[in-house]
Structure 1
Amino acid sequence: MTKAKKKWSQEVTERSDAMDLKEGVFTSSDPKKIARSIKQSAEASHRRKSSPYRSAMSMLTFYINRAGDQLTKKQKDTLEQAKDELRKDFGRETRH
C-alpha cells in the first residue's frame, strides 16, 4: 500500500509511540501467544503513559476496533480471547 493510501490507524499500529510491537503479532491464531507478546512489549516500553496492563489492553482493543469488518469471525474471536489471556497474565479478573 502506498504511503498516501495508508490509514492513520495502520500507522498507529505500525509505529505506536507507546510501545514497539512484534511484526504480525495480531495475525497469530494463538490467543496466548498474542497476549504474551503484547504484554512483553508493554512491559518493555519506557514511552507508555499508563500502566503496562492498560497500554497492552488499549493497543489490542484499538486493533480490534480499527480492523473491524476486515477481520474474519475466527480472527476476531481469537483477539477477544487474547484479551482474556491478557487479563489472566496481568492477574486481573476475566470477564464472564
Structure 2
Amino acid sequence: MAKQSKAQKDTMERVMHEFKEGELESGSGRKVKSRKQAVAIGLSEAGASNQQSPAENRRRLAKTKRQEAGAGPTKAELYAKAKQQDVPGRSKMTKAELEKAVG
C-alpha cells in the first residue's frame, strides 16, 4: 500500500469517524451504510484514489484541506460573542477583526 501524507491520514480518520457515528453521507445525500463505500469516499476526499488521475487527486485533497481549515466559528457566531462582550464598532468589523476583538 502506498504511503499517505499526514493530511490524507487526517481526512481518512475524519471520514471513518463520520461513518462510525452514522453522519457520513454519499453524494446523493443518503447515509452511507457500507464500510467499503465509506473507505472509497475517504480515499476520494483524501486524494488517494486509484480510480482518479493524479491531477484530480491533488484537486480533491486541496479542496478537502480548504474545507477543513474553514471549520471555525462563523461571522454570525463571532458577532454574537462580540455583542455579549459589548465590543464597540462590531457592526462594521470583518470576520478577521471580530476574531481579534473577541479573542
The structure with the largest alpha-carbon Rg is 2
Relative contact order (C-alpha < 8 Å, sep 6+): which is higher?
1
With normalisation by structure 2, the TM-score equals 0.28
